[in-house]
């Protein structure tokens, strides 16, 4: 590249873009790790975007109507940190830049949304950002339909690299965005033809523009170092009814000895080459030093949106008080006050009528009362609507012709769905839930982990949660998926036993601010086990005594979900034989773990035989069976230790020995 | 559709195709569950493929040079079962068809490769089959390059539905196949515009032909009910140097009242409609009854390949004895005899030289001696070759211009890689391994589960296996992934402590016939802990005494991988204070669990304090700490209970308290 020509053609632009490149070189050099090349390659695009287009107010990073900027190529985190520091973000200071990738810094190796308010999402696992962005764009459309264009009217911009576009999730994201005609979604493709292993050609020969067009996108191809082309492309993209992909031909590590090489993708730490690159840029200040005129030009960009922001506040204040209240409540993530009463009323009704329902149907019953009072819920399913019971009558379908629709047909895209849900939750103003089969937790897994890491309360509705699924067989029967979700930090895994517990679980999930929930729900019908109404949300305690021993307490059966009724049946038999048996329902291990020891000891006292019953692998159970005052020679587990099989459900429970009879036999043998 | 016209135009074809439709209707009716529409829609394509093109010999379903037929749309399993029964497969008998989806039947809800020899792969989780097929096609190319066209020369045919094509993994599969120019891969797209939730348009508007062309495929669009068009398309596809996608416009549930509806996607069990459909077909025999002439026409198709097969046997016999021996050994999945001696020699050398190496580098050392003696290994990485240490000098890169290459640059496609590896293992003749970061187990997870379910010995090389990854931060630091893999049935999770254990783990992985392996390997350097050479593979026992207590045994430290040296350092301190401490290295929990109790008791006797040390979540550890004669008040765990952070590795181990000092303190506090 002829840097002099670039510099001469647009000197002011060049100074601003060079600040990004220089800060990146310095930070990576100081950290002795990181990714230099991407921020250096995309500095021009980012500069034009921030200077001319991005609606934001650096002093108010949480302004709800800001444009969102998603760095899907999260390894290029110094691009984002540079932009935030330069525009005057209060959190990403120069000190933070100097401490790039160090303990306690907000400038982590990859952008972490929970470290600074201006970081929209956590990226690094490739493809997640572009898939989040679909959720951001959907949330914007839905909120705009609800509150009007004067309050909600912003774009979602994304920078995605070759890695993002090679990941399968990107296909799910772009085809969903194309179908839904998310015109306010604009993706810049950093087309630098370099990945870690070498040129992209080594592993890929995809015609990306053709691929995006095939998915219903507008595609604009530009020189990613020409500010005029960048500006024109963004201007054009903003008027499109289709989502836009701007293919930016760039040079990774522009101006450095490693330019256009896969070395340039990584950490450029050689001091001589660093100096040479800065010289080539015409950048003569010391490390981390941005000339005052350039810094103030950037700060002007950072405050450019302040007046817009002020006008927006005025417009918000002009809404009716009720509308304002709704907007602010939803934005804060608070559930409406009447949620509690609604849930209690349903619980009461269920405890009285005692229906036999699959918990997936219980979940629908809950959504039927919740969705009408929570306009922020945004439901969906990965093409299993009738099976996941996720759609209630009042939700219209979200489509280009119906932006008020609150139900999304995600298609057969579990991963894209989960990542889009995270994006919605991060955007704010909506509360997403989405369904698939529990077994396909596997497909959604990378995004489910990120929900937990990012501290967003997405709700994953996972039905058909055991061999109870029946004939579809082992490919569709989860056995390890409860353990997988429970192994993940900051995740609530609910496995309710009946409609009452399902309602309680939903109440917790919908009031959660920082923890995602996994709803593990049955395909098969279950009796109501909470036949006595309690106002209190017992599921909030994680586990509780559902049925106390009548005879002298010798056995405690601990069960979840569909196995709670198995435990109750086993208790009947044992009690009939004079063996006092307590049944503990344990719908959420994580919440039980969070209780104080006094309560845990009350539920699980030392002494009796303990048997865990769950149609899944034992992993995760030993802490309740052997720990918490338990003893190995008095503990047993009734569950799965292999994959399932294809046959009718009842036969499978027999075959795998998950029955009241087997429980009784195990209890007796442990009693000796 | 005008069935009469179809029937009149090609009466013989019609009879054969109708047999599939009628069997499907009868089997789903009898099972009262299943998917009728897809087999009914694709019966014409399958009939022409089997009759005119597919190279197979129904009497020898394991003939190595057969064409492979992959039903990626696995829910349409009755298509495959019908074809197998009709062509005379010995295992899929009429009785099996009658017992569709019943306990113990080979005709499971979704095709399971381990139930019948003629079922090439397990499908059902959508997109897996098409991604497997890329591995099948790669294996064919590699084997052909090694043994010549006379011995290996076959096609891989796939039927994929809309669901397969919506899943992100399909994008990874088709772009990889396009780049690698896998001309012998032919995919039929069952273009019926129906998914479970409704018409495809409800969630997708992708121009699939354009998408495949953008990925480097030949696309042929046909009427999927016209046998002449089908035949011509296959003929054309077979001559292409690019992979081919044949877009077959079809009617789901052809001829049934539910034709072209999403009801037709599911189980069509209404008896009157069933009778009406058969009448419309002109099919007058009773349930499960195929007219003799049609059955014998199908059986002729089944034996059509017998002479080809016989000629192939002759050609194989004409190879040199060494070549034949190699072919047969590799085909059987047996490792070469000298593998053991090679591993032992490396172990001896390492125990003597005692290098400090990251186990990812240890793994490379092992591969350097293994790859030259095992021509069947086929390595690769998802764009992290230098980080995963998966490429050794002798492996060329597999590309269109180098089919002898044994290393695959999979690109940033972890899921596609894992599924392709499964396909290679199923194809036979190669032994696949592939690398990514341990954290991205998440991305590969659906295929890793299927490796376990399908009983194929794929080797997943997962490096950067803890916070030891350092500055990249929590998005890249696994904490729950050991638990996830260990929760999965039939999976060996190896976490070796040094190069010797790494060599032992590889020996086990490369001799495994039915169990996949996960290699959990460090980024950071580790000392050699196996400083005394042993001929025996100690890793095969799962856990063993690495260092015995010298003073009176009061403590047992159980550790894996990078934490074994932490345990040894803690032992030094404890012994210096007179506290006898045993260190147990536990590189594979699954193999330890499989040992007899005598051995397990010897390694983990009752009495001493036990501490588990692993830089990961505790889930899965309690059975060794609290179970196996352990006691809760004498057990502790040193590990992670949250996500990690972005900082240099050593600081992270300090921050999260995974140190020898913390271990010593925990031991003392437990000793009271």
B125 → closest Cβ in A170, A475, A632: A475
Mean predicted confidence (pLDDT) in B119-128 = 98
Percent of residues, chain B, with pLDDT higher than 90: 100
A383 → closest Cβ in B109, B178, B196: B196
Q: Which residues contact A120 (CB under 8 A, 6 or more apart)?
A: A68, A69, A70, A113, A136, A426
pLDDT at residue A437, rounded to an integer: 98
Transcribe B129-180 into DSSP letters.
HHHHHHHHHHHHHHHHHHH-TTT----EEEEE-HHHHHSHHHHHHHHHHHHT
* Residues A73/A123, Cβ–Cβ less than 8 Å: yes
Write the pLDDT tens digit of every residue in A168-180.
999 999 999 999 9
* Residues A187/A244, Cβ–Cβ less than 8 Å: yes
Task: Enumerate the residues of chain B whose CB falls inside 8 A of the CB of residue A103.
Answer: 645, 647-648, 651-652, 655
Long-range contacts, stretch B334-343, CB < 8 angstroms, 24+ apart: B335/B374, B335/B510, B335/B511, B336/B373, B336/B374, B338/B373, B339/B370, B339/B373, B339/B374, B339/B507, B339/B510, B339/B511, B340/B507, B342/B369, B342/B370, B342/B373, B343/B369, B343/B370, B343/B503, B343/B504, B343/B506, B343/B507, B343/B537
Q: Is the pLDDT of residue B555 over 80?
A: yes
The residue count of chain B comes to 672
Q: What is the DSSP letter of B461?
A: E
Mean predicted confidence (pLDDT) in B78-82 = 98
CATH 3.40.50.920 occupies which residues in chain A? 541-671
Look over chain A and give the mean of its residue pLDDT values, rounded to a whole number: 98
Transcribe B243-308 into DSSP letters.
-EEEEEE--TTTTSTTTTSSGGGS----HHHHHHHHHHHT--S-TT---HHHHHHHHHHHHTTHHH
- For B415, nearest residue in chain A (alpha carbons): A168
- For A652, nearest residue in chain B (alpha carbons): B103
Q: What is the DSSP letter of A608?
A: S
Chain A closest-CA separation from residue B196 CA (Å): 6
Write the pLDDT tens digit of every residue in A71-130.
999 999 999 999 999 999 999 999 999 999 999 999 999 999 999 999 999 999 999 999
Q: What is the CA radius of gyration of chain B?
A: 28
* A103/B645 touch (CB, cutoff 8 Å), yes or no: yes
Q: Is B414 a catalytic residue?
A: yes
- For B28, nearest residue in chain A (alpha carbons): A471
Chain A closest-CA separation from residue B280 CA (Å): 29
Token pair, residue B199, equals 């018409």
Nearest partner of B17 among B272, B236, B233, B301, judged by Cα: B301
* Separation of alpha carbons B467 and B561, rounded Å: 13
Token pair, residue B136, equals 């099948």
Nearest partner of B425 among B186, B155, B120, judged by Cα: B120
* Residues B57/B65, Cβ–Cβ less than 8 Å: no
Chain B closest-CA separation from residue A628 CA (Å): 8
Nearest partner of A119 among A79, A163, A154, judged by Cα: A79
The CA-based diameter of chain A, rounded to the nearest angstrom, is 93
Write the pLDDT tens digit of every residue in B169-181.
999 999 999 999 9
* B34/A471 touch (CB, cutoff 8 Å), yes or no: yes
pLDDT at residue A186, rounded to an integer: 98
End-to-end C-alpha distance for chain A, whole angstroms: 82
Mean predicted confidence (pLDDT) in A192-218 = 97
Write the pLDDT tens digit of every residue in B661-671.
999 999 999 99
Phi, psi of A209 (to 5 degrees): -55, -45
Mean predicted confidence (pLDDT) in A398-421 = 98
Look over chain B and give the mean of its residue pLDDT values, rounded to a whole number: 98
* Residues A400/A426, Cβ–Cβ less than 8 Å: no
* B641/A198 touch (CB, cutoff 8 Å), yes or no: no
* B629/A629 touch (CB, cutoff 8 Å), yes or no: no
* Residues A434/A456, Cβ–Cβ less than 8 Å: no
Q: Which of B204, B514, B642 has the highest number of chain A CBs within 10 A, making it the mutation to test binding with A?
A: B204
pLDDT at residue A147, rounded to an integer: 97
Q: One of B141, B172, B414, B507 is an active-site residue; which one?
A: B414
* Separation of alpha carbons B658 and B563, rounded Å: 8
Write the pLDDT tens digit of every residue in B460-480.
999 999 999 999 999 999 999
CATH number of the structural domain A3-308: 3.40.50.970
Q: Is the pLDDT of residue A231 over 90?
A: yes
Chain B closest-CA separation from residue A213 CA (Å): 8
CATH number of the structural domain A541-671: 3.40.50.920
B195 → closest Cβ in A197, A208, A383: A383
Buried/exposed A217-245: b ≥16 CB within 10 Å, e otherwise: bbbbbbebbbbebbbebbeebeebebbbb
- For B165, nearest residue in chain A (alpha carbons): A412
Task: Enumerate the residues of chain A whose CB falls inside 8 A of the CB of residue B487.
Answer: 480, 483-484, 487, 617, 619-620
Q: Is the pLDDT of residue A297 over 90?
A: yes
Percent of residues, chain B, with pLDDT higher than 70: 100
CATH 3.40.50.920 occupies which residues in chain B? 539-671
CATH 3.40.50.970 occupies which residues in chain A? 3-308, 338-526
Q: One of A414, A507, A563, A590 is an active-site residue; which one?
A: A414
Mean predicted confidence (pLDDT) in B86-105 = 98
Band (B230; pLDDT cuts 50, 70, 90): very high
* Separation of alpha carbons B641 and B365, rounded Å: 33
* Residues B649/A113, Cβ–Cβ less than 8 Å: no
Topology (CATH level 3) of domain B539-671:
Rossmann fold (3.40.50)
- For A174, nearest residue in chain B (alpha carbons): B206
The residue count of chain A comes to 672
* Residues B262/B194, Cβ–Cβ less than 8 Å: yes
pLDDT at residue A11, rounded to an integer: 97
* B488/A471 touch (CB, cutoff 8 Å), yes or no: no
pLDDT at residue B242, rounded to an integer: 98
Band (B304; pLDDT cuts 50, 70, 90): very high
By the 10 Å C-beta count (0-12 exposed, 13-18 middle, 19+ buried), A129 is classed as buried
Of the options 3.40.50.970, 3.40.50.10860, 4.10.640.10, 2.30.40.10, the CATH number for the domain spanning B338-526: 3.40.50.970
Q: How many CB atoms neighbour CB B341 within 10 A?
A: 11
Band (B399; pLDDT cuts 50, 70, 90): very high
Nearest partner of B44 among B9, B94, B93, B96, judged by Cα: B9
Q: Is the pLDDT of residue B1 over 90?
A: no
Task: Enumerate the residues of chain B whose CB falls inside 8 A of the CB of residue A385.
Answer: 196-197
* A626/B628 touch (CB, cutoff 8 Å), yes or no: no
* B484/A479 touch (CB, cutoff 8 Å), yes or no: no
Dihedral angle sign, alpha carbons of residues B416, B422, B423, B428: positive
Task: Enumerate the residues of chain A whose CB falls inside 8 A of the CB of residue B124.
Answer: 472-473, 475-476
Task: Enumerate the residues of chain B whose CB falls inside 8 A of the CB of residue A210.
Answer: 210, 213-214
Band (A1; pLDDT cuts 50, 70, 90): confident
* A205/B195 touch (CB, cutoff 8 Å), yes or no: no
A210 → closest Cβ in B109, B210, B384: B210
Write the pLDDT tens digit of every residue in B188-226.
999 999 999 999 999 999 999 999 999 999 999 999 999
């Amino acid at each position: 590249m002829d840097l002099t020509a670039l510099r001469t053609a647009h000197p002011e632009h060049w100074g601003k873009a060079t600040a990004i490149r220089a800060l990146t070189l310095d930070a990576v050099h100081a950290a002795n790790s990181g990714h230099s090349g991407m921020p250096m390659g995309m500095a021009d695009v980012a500069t034009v975007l921030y200077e001319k287009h991005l609606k934001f107010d650096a002093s108010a990073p949480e302004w709800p109507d800001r444009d969102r900027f998603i760095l899907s190529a999260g390894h290029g985190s110094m691009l984002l940190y540079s932009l935030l520091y330069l525009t005057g973000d209060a959190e990403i200071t120069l000190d933070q830049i100097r401490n790039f990738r160090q303990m306690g810094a907000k400038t982590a190796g990859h952008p972490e949304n929970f470290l600074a308010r201006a970081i929209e999402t956590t990226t690094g696992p490739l493809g997640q950002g572009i898939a989040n962005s679909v959720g951001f764009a959907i949330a914007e459309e839905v909120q705009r339909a609800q509150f009007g264009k004067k309050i909600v009217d912003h774009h979602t911009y994304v920078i995605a690299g070759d890695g993002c576009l090679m990941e399968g999730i990107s296909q799910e994201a772009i085809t969903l965005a194309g179908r839904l005609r998310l015109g306010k979604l604009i993706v810049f493709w950093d087309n630098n033809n370099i990945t870690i292993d070498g040129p992209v050609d080594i592993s890929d020969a995809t015609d990306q523009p053709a691929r995006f067009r095939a998915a219903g996108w507008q595609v604009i191809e530009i020189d990613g170092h020409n500010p005029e082309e960048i500006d024109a492309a963004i201007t054009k993209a903003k008027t499109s009814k289709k989502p836009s992909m701007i293919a930016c031909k760039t040079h990774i590590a522009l101006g450095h000895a490693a330019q256009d090489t896969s070395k340039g993708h990584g950490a450029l730490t050689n001091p001589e080459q660093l100096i040479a690159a800065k010289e080539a840029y015409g950048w003569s200040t010391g490390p981390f030093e941005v000339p005052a005129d350039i810094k103030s030009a950037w700060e002007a960009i950072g405050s450019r949106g302040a007046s817009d922001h002020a006008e927006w506040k005025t417009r918000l204040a002009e809404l009716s008080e009720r509308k304002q209240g709704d907007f602010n409540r939803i934005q804060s993530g608070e559930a409406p006050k009447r949620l509690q009463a609604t849930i209690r009323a349903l619980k009461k009704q269920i405890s009285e009528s005692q229906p036999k329902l699959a918990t997936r149907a219980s979940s629908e019953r809950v959504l039927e009362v919740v969705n009408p009072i929570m306009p922020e819920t945004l439901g969906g399913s990965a093409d299993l609507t009738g099976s996941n019971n996720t759609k209630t009558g009042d939700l219209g379908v979200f489509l280009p012709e119906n932006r008020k629709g609150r139900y999304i047909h995600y298609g057969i895209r579990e991963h894209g769905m989960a990542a889009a849900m995270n994006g919605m939750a991060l955007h704010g103003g909506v509360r997403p839930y989405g369904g698939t089969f529990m077994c396909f937790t596997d497909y959604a897994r990378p995004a489910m982990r990120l929900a937990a890491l990012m501290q967003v309360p997405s709700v994953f509705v996972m039905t058909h949660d055991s061999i109870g699924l029946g004939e579809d067989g082992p490919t569709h029967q989860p056995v390890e998926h409860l353990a997988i979700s429970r192994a993940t930090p900051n995740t609530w895994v609910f496995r309710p036993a009946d409609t009452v517990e399902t309602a309680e679980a939903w109440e917790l999930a919908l009031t959660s601010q920082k923890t995602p929930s996994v709803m593990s729900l049955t395909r098969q019908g279950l009796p109501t086990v909470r036949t006595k109404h309690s106002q209190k949300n017992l599921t909030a305690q994680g586990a509780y005594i559902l049925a106390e021993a009548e005879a002298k307490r010798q056995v405690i059966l601990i069960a979840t979900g569909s196995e709670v009724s198995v435990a109750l049946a086993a208790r009947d038999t044992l009690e009939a034989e004079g063996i006092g048996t307590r049944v503990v329902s344990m719908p959420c291990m994580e919440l039980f773990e969070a209780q104080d020891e006094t309560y845990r000891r009350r539920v699980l006292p030392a002494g009796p035989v303990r048997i865990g019953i769950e149609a899944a692998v034992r992993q995760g159970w030993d802490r309740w069976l052997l720990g918490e005052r338990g003893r190995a020679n008095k503990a047993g587990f009734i569950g799965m230790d292999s994959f399932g099989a294809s046959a009718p459900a009842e036969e499978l429970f027999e075959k795998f020995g998950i029955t009241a009879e087997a429980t009784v036999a195990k209890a007796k043998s442990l009693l000796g």
